[in-house]
Structure 1
Amino acid sequence: MPGASAPPVERHGRPRNGLRVARVVARDFDGHSETSLDPDLRVFVSDLARPYGLELREDLLRRGVGHSYGEMAEELLAQALPAGEPVDLLILAFSSPDVRPGRSAAVHLSRFCPGAPLAFAVCDQGPAAAFTALRIASDYSRSGACRRAVVLAVEQTSLHHRPAAPVVLPDRHRAVALVCEQTDGDEALVRQSSGAVADSAPAQVRSEWAALGPQAALISGPELALGPQAALSGPEPEREAGLGRDPLGPVVEAGPGQPFTGVWTQLAERLPAWRAERRPVLVADLDRRLGRLSTLALPAGVAP
C-alpha cells in the first residue's frame, strides 16, 4: 500500500528506529474560548468566505461559540506529560478550523511543552491528518533527531460560516494526545493510500489486520479500531460482506459524534488493557470524500 513509513536509515551499520505509541490521553472541554468573541474572528471568516459567496453564521459569532485549540491542548499537555518529559517534536492535527486566527497554535504550544520542541500543524486532510502526523513523526525519529514526539488530534464544534456542502461537525470539543517514544522493537507503522479506495477499503483493512495475527505470540488475537467512515454500519448483508463480522477478532467502532477524534478516543480508553493482554492493534479510518484510507498498526510489544 502506498504511503507507508520509510524504512530505517542506516548510520554506522545500525538502523535508525521509529516510534512506538507509549500512551494516549483524551479529554473533553466544556464551554467556549474567550477568543470566540474576538472581532478578528469575524474579519478572518469573512475574508475566507466572501470569494465563494458563503454566508456567515451571525448567530454563532454573536454568541461566541467554539474553542481554541491552543487553550485545549495546553491543559492536555500537562496531563499527558505529568513528569515533565522533554519532547523533541510536536505536531498538531485537525480537520475543523480553530477559532483563533492569526496565531500558529502549534508554535504557541511549543512554549508550554517540555523541551521546547519543533512544532507545526497538519490539516486539510480530513481524518487522515492525525495518521499523517504520526507517519511524519516516525520518519523524523529515524533521522536521529527525535526520541519523543507528541501528536495532538483536536476538534471543536463550531463552523462560523455555512459550508457549500454538508459537513459533519463534532458533538463536543475534544483533544487527544498521542505520546510516542523511540523504540528498538515494537514500532508503530502507518500506511496511507489515496484515490478511489472506498470500495476496496474493507479488503485493505482486513489484509493489514490479518498481518498482525502472528505478532500476537499465540496469546491473544488482534484488535481493530475503526473510525466513523471506515465502520460499516449498513444493512445486515452488507455487514456480513464487510468488516463487521470478520472472524479475525473484535471490532471497536467509533461513533459519528466525533468524526476526527473518535477513533483516537477509543484507543485512549482501551490501549492500556490491550497492552496488558499483549494484543496487537490496528487503527483505521477512511475519508470517503477524499478517497483516503489510513491505518496505524501497533504490534503487541511487551506487557507493562
Structure 2
Amino acid sequence: MHRREFPSGDAARGPLAEGDREFFTDLASTAGLPVDDDAFTRGRTAYAAMVSAMLPELTPPDDFDLALLAHATPDATPGWPLSRLERSTTRTGLAFAISDQGTTSPFAALRMAVRGIAVQDARRALVLITEQSAVYHRGPIPEESRARYDTGVALVLDASGGLGALDCDQHAGVAPGDVPARLAALAPPAAAGPARPVLIAGAGLTRHWAGAPEGYTVRTAPEGMPAAGIWSVLAEQLPDLRRTGRRVVLADYDARFGYLGWCRLDVTADSGTDRSGPGGKEST
C-alpha cells in the first residue's frame, strides 16, 4: 500500500492544457452552473499525472493482471487516465475506472478485484484511489463530496503478498436509518484485549451511525477527503498495525446512493522483514 499527496508546487501539478478552459466552461454553462474563472489559474493535478507519478513508487511497478481506478471527484482535465497507465507498464491486463459509485467507489473497485472479476490465472491487481480538488464552477457541492486535497492511494493485491487477508463488499439500498443496524452486523462487538480491532470510518458513515461498535479503536477520515480519506488513514496507520497484527474494518456510507461500503483487513504481524517502499513508505 502506498499513499502520495500532491500539494501546491508539486511537479505533478500544472496549468490547464489548451482547450481545457473552453471545455469546462461549456460543460458548466450547459449544466446551468456559474463558471469560476479564477479556478482556471490555480493549477490542477490530473489523474493521469497522479498515475504517472505513483507507478514508479510501487514495488515492482509494471506488471498487473488487473488495474482499477476509483474516484468520486471528476478528473481535473478531459481524457482517460488509464491510457497513461497502460503506456507506463509492461503489462496491465484488464484496466478500467469506477467513477459513479460516489464515496464508496473504492469499495466497489476492491470488491471487483477480490472476487468480482474473472481474469484467468490472475495473481496481481492494482487499485488506485484518486481524488482532486479543482472545481471550475461556483455551484453548490455537498460538503461530504467536496475534496480539498489532491491525493492518491495505491493498493497492490498480490497472491504472494504478506500484508494480510482482505475481504470487501458494497451494500446497496441502505437507508440512512438502517446504517446503525447494518454496521452492527458487519462489525459486531469485539472482546476486550490488547489487540483491539480498528475501525476506520468515513465522514459519510459517522454522520449516520449511532456510535462506534463496542471494543473497537476508532479512526476517522480527515475532512475534505470524501473517498480517499479512510484509505489514507489506513496507509498512515499500517506500520503500527503490523507490529502486532490487527483486524481492521474500513467502512463508509454514501447517502445519495444508499451505498454502504465495508472492508475487512486481517493485518499479519510483521516478522521483522523490511517491507518499506521508496522513501520509507509502506508497500506490498
TM-score for the superposition, normalised by structure 1: 0.78
How far did 1:140 drift? Answer: 5.3
Equivalence for 1:122: 98
Pick the aligned partner of 1:76 from 48, 54, 58.
54
Which residue of the other structure, out of 145, 148, 152, is the alignment partner of 1:175?
152
Q: Equivalent residue of 2:200, what SS?
A: strand
C-alpha distance in 2, partners of 1:281/1:79? Answer: 25
Q: Distance in 2 between matches of 1:34 and 1:165?
A: 23
What 5-or-longer segments of structure 2 have no aligned partner? Answer: 272-284
Deviation of the 1:48 alpha carbon: 2.6
Report the residue type matching 1:44 in the other structure.
F
Preserved CA contact (<8 Å) 1:148 1:182: yes
The one of 254, 266, 285 equivalent to 2:233 is: 266
Q: 1:85 to 1:98 in 2, by over 3 A?
A: closer
Aligned length: 267
- What does the per-residue CA deviation read over 1:6-32, in whole Å, with 9 as the maximum and x for residues that have no partner? xxxxxxxxxxxxxxxxxx211111237
Aligned CA RMSD, in angstroms, stands at: 2.8
**Alignment partner of 2:66 out of 79, 82, 89:** 89
Task: Note if 1:146 corresponds to 2:125.
Answer: no
Partner letter of residue 111 of structure 2? R
Does the 8 A contact of 2:52 with 2:84 survive in 1?
A: no
Which stretch has the larger CA shift, 133-142 or 32-41?
A: 32-41
Are 1:141 and 1:147, in contact at CA under 8 Å, matched by a contact in 2? no
Residue 51 of structure 1: which of 15, 27, 30 is its match? 30
Alpha-carbon separation, structure 2, partners of 1:109 and 1:43: 26
2:242 is equivalent to residue 275 of structure 1: yes
Superposed displacement of residue 116, structure 1: 3.1
Q: Which residue in 2 is equivalent to 1:230?
A: 205
Distance of 1:266 and 1:184 partners within structure 2: 20
CA displacement, residues 257-277 of structure 1 (integer Å, 9 cap, x when unaligned): 211211010110112322332
Please list the CA deviations of residues 16-69 of structure 1 after superposition, one character each: whole Å capped at 9, or x if unmatched.
Answer: xxxxxxxx21111123766642232223223433332112211112x1422111
Aligned-partner Cα distance in 2 for 1:34–1:28? 11
- Give the 3-state SS of the residue equivalent to 1:280 in structure 2: strand
Maintained 8 Å contact 1:158/1:169: no
Task: Note if contact 2:248-2:264 (Cα within 8 Å) is conserved in structure 1.
Answer: yes
* CA distance in 1 between partners of 2:61 and 2:81 (Å): 20
Secondary structure of 1:115's counterpart equals coil
Looking at structure 2, the residues matched to 110 and 66 of structure 1 have their Cα atoms a distance apart, in angstroms, of 22
Contact 1:122–1:133 at 8 Å: present in 2 too?
yes
Contact 2:65–2:123 (8 Å) recurs in 1: yes
Task: Determine the C-alpha separation between the residues in 1 that align with 2:229 and 2:6.
Answer: 14
Counterparts in 2 of 1:85 and 1:71: CA distance versus 1, 3 Å: closer
Q: In the superposition, relative to structure 1, how do residues 209 and 113 fare at CA in structure 2: closer, same or farther (>3 Å)? A: farther
In 2: Cα distance, 1:184 partner to 1:158 partner: 35
Counterpart pick for 1:37 among 4, 12, 16: 16
Question: Helix, strand or coil for the counterpart of 1:285?
Answer: strand
Deviation for aligned residue 1:251: 0.6
The one-character-per-residue Cα deviations of 1:121-153 (angstroms, maximum 9, x if unpaired) are 110221111111111111256543421111111
Gap change, CA 1:85 and 1:220, over 3 Å in 2: farther
Conservation of the 8 A alpha-carbon contact between 1:131 and 1:296: yes
2:3 pairs, out of 26, 31, 37, with 26
Whether the 8 Å CA contact 2:246–2:269 is kept in 1: the answer is no
Question: Which of 170, 175, 193 is residue 192 of structure 1 equivalent to?
Answer: 170
* Distance (whole Å) between structure 2 residues aligned to residue 283 and residue 196 of structure 1: 17
The 8 Å contact of residues 111 and 170 in structure 2, kept in 1 or not, is answered as no
Change (3 A) 1:111 1:221: same
Q: Percent identity?
A: 30
TM-score by length of 2: 0.83
Larger displacement relative to structure 2 (189-198 or 281-290): 189-198
Q: Report Cα offsets for 1:231-250 as digits up to 9, x if no partner.
A: 259xxxxx8x422xx32221
Q: Following TM superposition, by how much is the alpha carbon of 1:303 offset from its aligned partner in structure 2, in angstroms?
A: 4.1
Q: For 1:125 and 1:166, how far apart are their aligned partners in 2?
A: 15
C-alpha deviation, 1:288, in angstroms: 1.9
